[in-house]
């Protein structure tokens, strides 16, 4: 009987997807969320961490979420703040902002799609996360992964392709007009991130 239970547990664990913890950084220096627009599976966790020491009050406040989902409004102020976690329970688009700094572009969104829950190690997902910086930028986008060389496409919020090429560890955006853009990195699975050109 004990052997049957062990075999059953092994089989079930093989077919269970692992939920992930997705990190969004709160960057006080530029009053923004880094890695703010993400797509996750239902049951995954979103965790906000400081990219630097908070010098002013920020919030992580839901502004538009699916019907029936739990709202959130977390105050972020030194020295006590180290992280805030949220686990969406309903699929759909969750939009959030820093209430005092939304007018400066400190906003983000979480697109939650259906999935199966489990648990995974924070360190493994953190190490796989790609972040672009500085954001806003005037000339170049850099990547947190070293030797990052992949094809990219940059789009306006309306979906118009304005720039493409290969990253070669950085992307020169100095020719773009000021505004908000989305950069799509074409790997085995495309990644899309929002940035501001100033």
pLDDT tens per residue across span 36-56? 888 888 888 888 887 777 778
R_g (Cα) of the chain, nearest Å: 19
CB-CB neighbours of 64 under 10 Å: 11
DSSP H helices, 31-150, are 122-127
Q: Which of 60, 58, 106, 54 is nearest to 80 (CA)?
A: 54
DSSP 33: E
The mean per-residue pLDDT over the stretch 88-113 comes to 89
Tokens of 126: 């953190």
Q: Is 61 helix (H, G, I), strand (E, B) or coil?
A: strand
DSSP 142: E
Q: Tell me, what's the pLDDT at 116?
A: 41
- Say if residue 7's pLDDT is above 50: no
Residue 126 burial (C-beta neighbours within 10 Å; 0-12, 13-18, 19+) = middle
| Strand-pair category, 179-185 with 191-197 | antiparallel
Tokens of 151: 């094809």
Q: Tell me, what's the pLDDT at 67?
A: 87
The mean per-residue pLDDT over the stretch 73-94 comes to 80
Cα 144 to Cα 162: distance, rounded to the nearest angstrom? 23
Under 8 Å CB-to-CB from 15, ≥6 apart: which residues? none
Name which of 79-83, 180-184, 191-195 the model is least confident about: 79-83
Q: Tell me, what's the pLDDT at 15?
A: 41
The mean per-residue pLDDT over the stretch 22-43 comes to 82
Q: Tell me, what's the pLDDT at 176?
A: 94
Name all domains of the chain by residue range, CATH numbers in brackets: 17-129 (2.60.40.420), 131-198 (2.60.40.3080)
Residues 194 and 24: beta-carbon distance below 8 Å: no
Q: Is 12 helix (H, G, I), strand (E, B) or coil?
A: helix
Q: Tell me, what's the pLDDT at 117?
A: 38
Confidence of residue 172 (pLDDT cuts 50, 70, 90): very high
- Say if residue 60's pLDDT is above 60: yes
- Say if residue 124's pLDDT is above 60: no
Q: Tell me, what's the pLDDT at 129?
A: 63
- Is the pTM above the cut of 0.75? no
- Which has more pLDDT, 53 or 35? 35
């Amino acid at each position: 009987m004990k052997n049957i239970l062990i075999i059953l547990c092994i089989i079930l664990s093989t077919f269970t997807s692992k939920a992930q913890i997705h990190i969004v950084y709160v960057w006080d220096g530029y009053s923004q969320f880094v890695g703010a627009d993400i797509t996750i599976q239902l049951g995954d966790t979103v965790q906000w961490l400081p990219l630097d020491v908070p010098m002013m009050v920020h919030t992580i406040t839901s502004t538009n979420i699916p019907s029936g989902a739990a709202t959130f409004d977390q105050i972020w102020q030194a020295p006590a703040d180290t992280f805030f976690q949220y686990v969406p329970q309903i699929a759909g688009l969750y939009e959030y902002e820093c209430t005092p700094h939304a007018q400066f572009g400190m906003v983000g969104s979480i697109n939650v799609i259906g999935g199966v829950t489990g648990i995974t190690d924070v360190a493994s997902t953190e190490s796989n996360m790609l972040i672009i910086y500085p954001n806003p930028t005037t000339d170049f986008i850099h990547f947190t992964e070293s030797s990052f060389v992949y094809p990219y496409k940059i789009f306006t919020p309306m979906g118009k392709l304005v720039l493409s090429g290969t990253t070669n560890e950085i992307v020169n955006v100095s020719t773009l007009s000021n505004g908000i853009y989305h950069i799509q990195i074409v790997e085995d699975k495309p990644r899309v991130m929002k940035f501001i050109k100033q």
